[in-house]
Amino acid sequence: MGDGERDTERLRLTRRGAVTKARILQAAARLMYVQGVAATTLDDVRSVSGTSKSQLYRYFPDKDALVRDVITVQAEKRLEGQRRHLQRLGSIRGLERWRDAMVQSNALAGGAYGCPLGSLASEVADQDDKARAALAGHFRAWESLLEAGLSRMAESGVLREDADSGRLATGLMAALQGGYLLAQMAHDAEPMRVALDMAIDHVRSYAVMDGTGRTAVHLDQLPAAGRPNS
Amino acid sequence: MGDGERDTERLRLTRRGAVTKARILQAAARLMYVQGVAATTLDDVRSVSGTSKSQLYRYFPDKDALVRDVITVQAEKRLEGQRRHLQRLGSIRGLERWRDAMVQSNALAGGAYGCPLGSLASEVADQDDKARAALAGHFRAWESLLEAGLSRMAESGVLREDADSGRLATGLMAALQGGYLLAQMAHDAEPMRVALDMAIDHVRSYAVMDGTGRTAVHLDQLPAAGRPNS
DNA sequence: CCAGCAAGGGACTAGAAAGTCCAAAATACT
DNA sequence: AGTATTTTGGACTTTCTAGTCCCTTGCTGG
């Protein structure tokens, strides 16, 4: 999905060409993440990727196309990472581990830069409607990873049946994205932690309790429960 | 606060000059809000404001200075509006009215454009550290309007004493900002409503209950609270 | 080994955008 | 009124950047 195919037929490329194209995309993705899309010139991309102008235009029709491919690449990377974290999500505890991972990686950057996907989104949304729509799709996909986990929690009895996993997932995403923005401004990951704590408390408010005030079932601690790490 | 004074002495300006300067700022603020800062050229500003190049440079040393003044202006406008909504905040119901106002005005734009301050923030944060710090200050001021309201609610017994109004305010802000981002991408204000519902539920979880399982106002689910239609 | 095609280097162009300058018009000051 | 000062119009310069072009290098297949 999302390789950037168009109506016209594609340019044939050898292994070497593919490597170069990937190197360009890599450099562009990094630059656009840390400096923003608009502030990243093709000359920046050229020099960081160690290529030449003709390469850029050999592999990408123009800057917009490069941006769109960067969006695809970042979304795939992000979704891949989130899948790893969320595919076995099945308990409040699992949600907390996810929160910790998000906060920790944000703290590594001192809160700066924001969300790899979210920062692209806010910059591109009012500019390029195609890109906006693509981003919207990626966010839906991301949100459904959360939603699927919450649904499993409902089915396994961790959450009450009346919990609306779609709304809960939206709440988690909003808290995460809002947390990114506040953290970016404050240069401190703490606001993100606070925001995610709130969202998880909200999920917890739908948890089925036993008599001791603890969550009744801990699904993801029972079965296979692979490596929490990585 | 935030008039843009510098170390060096200021240029004297007559009433007419002040009006022109304001017209430029107004146009720049609007353009930068709808198109983004980077996509707004000085020529755009010139033509929309009906001025000439020399005016721009008479009243602002360069584009960065203009951007910084736009930030100040937008922050003042925003804070003024929020003060109106929040200065008497003292109940969950009041929070819901605030939410409705936020959602409704976002819905007017079909979710587009995002937050007047937040969109500036994400674009400028990694670019101009002075501007980032200023924005951070404005957000703190905004957040303390919420915090003050929540504190009043705690003092008046609407919220439990152990409610941390600072954290609750951060949660509300994150939900709002995350809601803006999701709404902008989806071109639909609904995600913002969901996010703010979550945050308000979280505040409600600190509400003091009476014997009937109701707060001074309400606890358990109000049915989605209100017309999606406006 | 040769032909053909992919990959690469980098100068060059076109145009957009920021920023400068000066003279004319409007306004303020006394 | 008469002078100083602010305001304005808009041409001009400079800088930056997307995008083009062409020639060289190198790989691949027959």
- Give yes or no for a contact between B120 and B77, defined as CB atoms under 8 angstroms apart: no
CB-CB: which of B119, B136, B170 is closest to A122? B119
Q: Which residues of B touch A38 (CB under 8 A)?
A: 36, 38-39, 123
Note the pLDDT tens digit of each residue in B2-22.
333 333 446 788 999 999 999
Cβ contact B55 with chain D strand, < 7 A = yes
Suggest the residue from B126, B139, B144 to mutate for an interface test with chain A (most A CBs closer than 10 A). B126
Domains annotated on chain A, with CATH: 13-60 (1.10.10.60), 70-221 (1.10.357.10)
**In chain B, whose CA is at the least distance from the CA of A125?**
B185
Note the pLDDT tens digit of each residue in B103-141.
999 999 999 999 999 999 999 999 999 999 999 999 999
Distance between the alpha carbon (CA) of B156 and the C1' atom of D22, Å:
79
Distance between the alpha carbon (CA) of A38 and the C1' atom of D25, Å:
34
CA of A27 vs chain B CAs: smallest distance (Å): 18
pLDDT at A10: 61
Cβ-Cβ contacts under 8 Å between A and B: the total is 163
Record: contact B175-A179, CB cut-off 8 A? no
Which strand C nucleotides have any atom less than 7 A from protein CB atoms?
5-12, 16-23, 27-28
Distance between the alpha carbon (CA) of A7 and the C1' atom of D29, Å:
29
CA of B115 vs chain A CAs: smallest distance (Å): 10
Distance between the alpha carbon (CA) of B14 and the C1' atom of C11, Å:
52
* Cβ < 7 Å from strand D, B residues 139-178: none
Report ipTM for this prediction: 0.90
Q: Any idea which residue has 């739908």 for tokens? A: A206
- The structure's pTM equals 0.90
pLDDT at B12: 81
Three-state helix/strand/coil letters over chain B: CCCCCCCCCCCCCCHHHHHHHHHHHHHHHHHHHHHCCCCCCHHHHHHHHCCCHHHHHHHCCCHHHHHHHHHHHHHHHHHHHHHHHHCCCCCHHHHHHHHHHHHHHHHHCCCCCCCCCHHHHHHHCCCCHHHHHHHHHHHHHHHHHHHHHHHHHHHCCCECCCCCHHHHHHHHHHHHHHHHHHHHHHCCCHHHHHHHHHHHHHHHCCECECCCCCECCCCCCCCCCCCCCC
* Residues of chain B with confidence (pLDDT) below 50: 1-9, 211, 217-230
CB-CB: which of B36, B175, B205 is closest to A205? B205
pLDDT at A209: 76
> Going residue by residue through chain A (230 aa), what tens digit of pLDDT does each one get?
334 343 344 678 889 999 999 999 999 999 999 999 999 999 999 999 999 999 999 999 999 999 999 999 999 999 999 999 999 999 999 999 999 999 999 999 999 999 999 999 999 999 999 999 999 999 999 999 999 999 999 999 999 999 999 999 999 999 999 999 999 999 999 999 999 999 999 999 999 975 455 555 544 544 444 444 43
* Cβ < 7 Å from strand C, B residues 60-89: 62-63
